[in-house]
């Protein structure tokens, strides 16, 4: 009777152990993230309406589309001079009839295509010598171009787009690459060259506004700067041609902006949306009473927010026109049928990888109670990774390669945990189990850290598709170490403890 009682109690103990395991915070976290990921992919609109891929952002390789690589018609010059660098930049601006900006005390950017041979005598004329000549733009200008192109892409509702600046170790960016999934090459080229309708209007009376001028009267736009110099106020300067300056003065005087600025603010609109509104400052209002003013400045505020607003306003003032001329250095298309083929092959490769590692693990352990939790944990890890990728990363062939790599390394680490906690094929006591599990987790964390360090250069550098591979790999490693490995440890402990002291 006593033996029978123990046999009857054993299933109840196993059920209680499994219930405690399912309520463990590590397991609940993994299950919660899986649900979150499935919701992000298939439930959040438009979700399942997009087909089997849901909200996953598919890249050019898998969706089909176009790519364009642009070359900047500009150069970055490092120089040496005994004079004032700012005076040199101003003199060059006048002599070359081009936009010239001082990047550092001994470096400047010329936003027109000139050869070194053409520039040497001009620099010598103003008492300066050229030390280095590099075609391209500064990182600041490259970032501005990227922002403008992103706004253009967002304006046509294209979410599956990638824009990468290709910057060298010298900090000079010579190329920028656009990948637009689902967009034909003609549309892609139009995106690069299109401009919006920029307009300045003035508050007349009540809610009525009157047209003042269009963006074609703006001859130049300066980068964001502080004014007065030394203050914390940011703004953007721009220059009007004579016709625009006369129209601006006439409107300001006619509608009372010079006599009562607060009641008649000046508004800037891009594609009929107000992007900036402010009253004339008293000094400018007084100047306009007497004569037209060509040099104007829009102040955006103080601090970091003022700087960000100034950067955005500069883009609006340019009406989507790039600050530097570009030429198409290369372009191409990926047909939609080829993208569908790549998608099919990626799914097939993933299934083969999953079946392959599952078969190898089964051959090693010959125990379904161990193999199934391993495969299930691995699948959960991939689902979580895809759910996070919805918000962070576009999936292309390189990213899919990262997913398959994560699948393989994930199983490898689960094998390390399982082999470490088993002692001569037997399940140890709970105390010894936790000690060995912690040791296995420590080994995995060190391995994960080395992988992250190895991938960081690829993730941070502008290496196009390789960046996606590195980001997916790093995310997969982090999800494994922080979520799925601890959860697997609790699950496998509950399964193995059902048969203590027996061979696994």
Residue 275's domain is classified under what CATH number?
A: 3.30.1360
pLDDT in tens, 109-155: 998 899 999 999 999 999 999 999 999 999 888 888 888 888 777 75
The phi, psi pair for 101, rounded to 5°, reads -125, 135
% residues pLDDT > 90 (the chain): 17
Cα 95 to its chain centre, rounded Å, is: 39
Instruction: Clarify whether residues 245 and 309 are in a common domain.
Output: yes
Task: Mention every residue, 6+ apart, whose C-beta is less than 8 A from residue 390.
Answer: 37, 40, 41, 54, 55, 56, 57
Tell me the pairing of strands 218-221 and 209-214: unpaired
Measured distance CA(80)–CA(130) in Å, rounded = 7
- Round the average pLDDT of the chain to a whole number and report it: 83
Q: How sure is the predictor about 349, in pLDDT bands with cuts at 50, 70 and 90?
A: confident
In this predicted structure, what is the pLDDT of residue 315? 79
51/371: higher pLDDT:
371
**Which letter, b or e, does each residue of 138-157 get, where b requires 16 or more Cβ atoms within 10 Å of its Cβ?**
bebbbebbbebbeebbeeee
Alpha carbon distance, N-terminus to C-terminus of the chain: 29
Listed range (29-38, 140-149, 186-195) with the worst mean pLDDT: 186-195
Would you say residue 503 has pLDDT above 60? no
Last residue of a domain, one of 319, 353, 383: 319
Dist. CA 28–CA 483, nearest whole Å: 10
Question: CB of 161 within 8 A of CB of 178?
Answer: yes
pLDDT tier for residue 501 given thresholds of 50, 70 and 90: very low
Q: In what order do the strands lie in the sheet with 75-81?
A: 100-104, 107-110, 75-81, 128-135
Same domain, 340 and 461: yes
Same domain (yes/no): 44, 82: no
- Does 304 share its domain with 401? no
- Evaluate whether residue 311 is within a structural domain: yes
Same domain assignment for residues 362 and 481 = yes
For residue 82, give Cα distances in angstroms to 79, 288, 361. Answer: 10, 39, 72
Do residues 353 and 479 share a domain? yes
Query: Are residues 116 and 171 located together in one domain of the fold?
Result: yes
- Rounded Cα–Cα distance for residues 419 and 436 (Å): 10
Q: Can you tell me the mean pLDDT for 17-24?
A: 71
- Cβ atoms 149, 156 nearer than 8 A: no
Q: For residue 140, tell me if it sits in a domain.
A: yes
Mean predicted confidence (pLDDT) in 156-178: 77
Contact present, 249 and 293 (Cβ < 8 Å)? yes
Q: Where among 260, 285, 319 does a domain terminate?
A: 319
Q: Does 159 fall in a domain?
A: yes
- Does 420 share its domain with 448? yes
Split into its structural domains, the chain has a count of 3
Full DSSP string of 197-236: -EEEEEE-STT-EEEEEEGGGEEEEPPPEESSTTSSEEEE
Whether 504 is in a domain gets the answer: no
Asked whether residue 502 is domain-assigned, the answer is no
Residue-number span of the structural domain to which 473 is assigned: 2-63+335-496
| 82 lies in the same domain as 58 | no
**Sorting pLDDT into bands at 50, 70 and 90, what band is 158?**
low
Q: Which of these, 61, 39, 72, 276, lies nearest to 166 by C-alpha position?
A: 72
Assess whether 487 and 360 both reside in one domain. Answer: yes
Is a pLDDT exceeding 50 seen at residue 3? no
Establish whether the linkage from the previous residue to 228 is cis, with ω within 30° of 0.
Answer: yes
pLDDT given for residue 502 in this prediction: 42
Query: SS3 for 443?
Result: helix
Boundary (domain end) residue, out of 275, 294, 319? 319
Contact status, residue 163 vs residue 176, Cβ threshold 8 Å: yes
Answer yes or no: is pLDDT of 455 > 80. Answer: yes
């Amino acid at each position: 009777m006593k033996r029978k009682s123990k046999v009857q109690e054993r299933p109840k103990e196993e059920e209680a152990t499994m219930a405690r395991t399912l309520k463990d915070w590590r397991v609940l976290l993994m299950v919660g993230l899986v649900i979150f990921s499935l919701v992000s992919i298939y439930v959040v609109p438009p979700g399942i309406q997009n087909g089997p891929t849901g909200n996953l952002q598919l890249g050019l390789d898998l969706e089909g589309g176009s790519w364009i690589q642009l070359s900047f018609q500009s150069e970055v010059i490092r120089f040496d001079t005994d004079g004032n660098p700012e005076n040199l930049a101003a003199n060059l601006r006048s002599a070359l009839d081009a936009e010239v900006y001082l990047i550092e005390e001994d470096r400047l950017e010329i936003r027109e295509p000139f050869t070194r041979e053409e520039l040497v005598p001009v620099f010598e004329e103003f008492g300066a010598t050229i030390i280095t000549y590099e075609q391209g733009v500064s990182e600041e200008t490259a970032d501005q171009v990227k922002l403008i192109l992103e706004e253009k892409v967002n304006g046509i509702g294209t979410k599956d787009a990638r824009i990468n600046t290709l910057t060298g170790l010298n900090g000079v960016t010579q190329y920028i690459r656009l990948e637009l999934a689902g967009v034909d090459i003609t549309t892609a080229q139009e995106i690069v060259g299109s401009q919006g309708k920029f307009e300045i209007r003035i508050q007349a009376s009540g809610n009525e506004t009157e047209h003042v001028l269009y963006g074609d009267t703006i001859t130049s736009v300066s980068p964001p700067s502080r004014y007065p110099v030394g203050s914390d106020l940011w703004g953007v300067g721009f220059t009007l041609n004579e016709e625009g300056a006369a129209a601006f003065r006439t409107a300001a005087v006619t509608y009372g902006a010079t006599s009562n600025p607060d009641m008649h603010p000046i508004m800037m609109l891009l594609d009929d949306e107000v992007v900036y509104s402010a009253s004339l400052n008293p000094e400018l209002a007084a100047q306009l009473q007497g004569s037209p003013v060509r040099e104007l400045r829009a102040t955006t505020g103080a601090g970091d927010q003022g700087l960000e607003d100034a950067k955005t306003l500069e883009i609006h003032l340019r009406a989507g026109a790039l600050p530097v001329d570009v030429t198409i250095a290369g372009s191409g298309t990926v047909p939609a049928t080829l993208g569908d083929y790549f998608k099919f092959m990626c799914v097939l490769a993933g299934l083969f990888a999953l079946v392959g590692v599952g078969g190898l693990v089964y051959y090693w352990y010959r125990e379904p109670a161990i193999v199934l939790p391993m495969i299930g944990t691995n699948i959960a890890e991939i689902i979580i990774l895809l759910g996070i990728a919805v918000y962070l990363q576009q999936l292309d062939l390189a990213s899919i390669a990262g997913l398959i790599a994560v699948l393989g390394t994930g199983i490898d680490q689960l094998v390390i945990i399982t082999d470490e906690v088993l002692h001569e094929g037997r399940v140890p006591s709970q105390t010894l189990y936790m000690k060995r599990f912690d040791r296995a987790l420590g080994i995995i964390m060190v391995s994960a850290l080395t992988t992250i360090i190895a991938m960081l250069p690829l993730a941070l550098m502008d290496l196009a598709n390789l960046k996606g591979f590195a980001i997916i790999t790093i995310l997969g490693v982090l999800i494994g170490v922080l979520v799925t490995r601890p959860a697997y440890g609790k699950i496998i402990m509950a399964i193995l403890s059902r048969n203590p002291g027996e061979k696994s």
